[in-house]
């Protein structure tokens, strides 16, 4: 049994050495790096807790086992120990409080412009989803891509997310956390890439039978290479028409596509604020105006 256990452990260790690192633990940007450090912090603290608890369990089982006591031993009657109760209650409270503090602090950091990029103008990209594909509009560059994304390194990226179908979740694990894209509002996600390379992005929210293949490729490159790519697109890509875009919105899977122009002109995104809230505000304004007119009469 001893040699069988050692062989099993050796085999597992050998196989795991060939595995690629988890994408969330292989960050390529400041936002993802912060989240990876939080994950490792959580794993470290939880591992320490598990080791301590099991060590105490083994100690208690050995020291207070029945065979280690005399045959006529009778345990004393104890009402309770305030110190033990304080430790059992206080330590979990402290752990949860610490994790809550770290989580809130990290949320503010990853929601803001990436650290070190505050003084740079962001590249704005409208990322919209449809069943089951992603459309990336570069309004300043006047181009649009389908199912792939090119971004420059060392520059903040401001994604404007929305959906032409069910709620989806935009996620590039090596750049940052996921964020929802909805049909009647825009959500903003701030990311940045510190180094060039290929990455994977996907929809992380179940959205029907085509969800599993609702992915896109991400390529981070230098600013110079990015500018050359833009020039090449404008020379070779076909313009995006409203008819073509409506065809792209039909449910199904597509390969990678590139167009000059964007759909933002003939099929604009929703307003920055939730349409329901805006409608309620308009109704409230109209109602207030009617009350004022009635009071005047």
CA distances from 288 to 137, 261, 276, 297 (A): 40, 43, 18, 15
Position 133 scores a pLDDT of 96
Which residues 6+ apart lie within 8 Å of 110 measured at CB? 31, 34, 35, 176, 177, 190
Among 195, 155, 204, CA closest to 177: 204
Is residue 214 within 8 A of residue 168, CB to CB? The reply is yes
Give the number of other CB atoms < 10 A from CB of residue 62: 9
| Nearest-angstrom CA–CA distance, 146 and 148 | 6
Residue 262 sits at the vertex; the CA angle it makes with 260 and 267, to the nearest 5 degrees, is 150
Please say whether the dihedral angle defined by the alpha carbons of residues 24, 28, 31 and 35, taken in this order, is positive or negative.
positive
Q: List phi, psi (to 5°) of 51.
A: -65, -45
| Nearest-angstrom CA–CA distance, 156 and 177 | 15
Give me the residues of the chain with pLDDT under 70, please: 15-21, 272-297
Which domains, from first to last, does the chain contain? Answer: 123-260 (2.60.40.420)
Predicted structure pTM score: 0.79
């Amino acid at each position: 049994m001893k040699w069988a256990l050692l062989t099993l452990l050796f085999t597992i260790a050998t196989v795991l050495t060939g595995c690629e690192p988890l994408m969330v633990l292989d960050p390529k940007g400041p936002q993802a790096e912060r989240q990876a450090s939080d994950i490792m912090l959580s794993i470290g603290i939880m591992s320490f807790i598990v080791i301590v608890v099991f060590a105490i369990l083994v100690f208690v089982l050995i020291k207070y086992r029945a065979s280690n006591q005399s045959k006529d031993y009778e345990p004393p009657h104890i009402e309770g120990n305030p110190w033990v109760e304080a430790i059992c209650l206080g330590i979990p409270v402290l752990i949860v409080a610490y994790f809550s503090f770290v989580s809130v602090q990290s949320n503010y950091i990853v929601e803001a412009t990436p650290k070190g990029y505050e003084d740079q103008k962001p590249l704005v990209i409208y990322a919209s989803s449809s069943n089951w594909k992603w459309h990336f509009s570069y309004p300043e560059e006047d181009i649009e891509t389908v199912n792939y994304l090119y971004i420059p390194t060392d520059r903040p990226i401001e994604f404007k997310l929305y959906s032409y179908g069910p709620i989806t979740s935009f996620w590039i694990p090596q750049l940052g956390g996921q964020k929802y894209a909805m049909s009647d509002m825009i959500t903003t996600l701030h990311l940045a890439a510190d180094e060039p390379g290929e990455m994977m992005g996907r929809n992380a929210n179940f959205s029907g039978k085509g969800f599993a293949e609702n992915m896109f490729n991400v390529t981070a490159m230098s600013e110079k290479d990015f500018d050359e790519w833009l020039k090449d697109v404008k020379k070779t890509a076909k313009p995006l028409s409203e008819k073509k875009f409506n065809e792209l919105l039909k449910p199904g899977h597509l390969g990678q596509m590139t167009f000059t122009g964007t759909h933002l002109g003939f099929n604009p995104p929703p307003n920055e604020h939730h349409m329901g809230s805006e409608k309620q505000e308009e109704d409230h304004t109209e109602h207030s105006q009617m009350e004022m007119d009635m009071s005047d009469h």
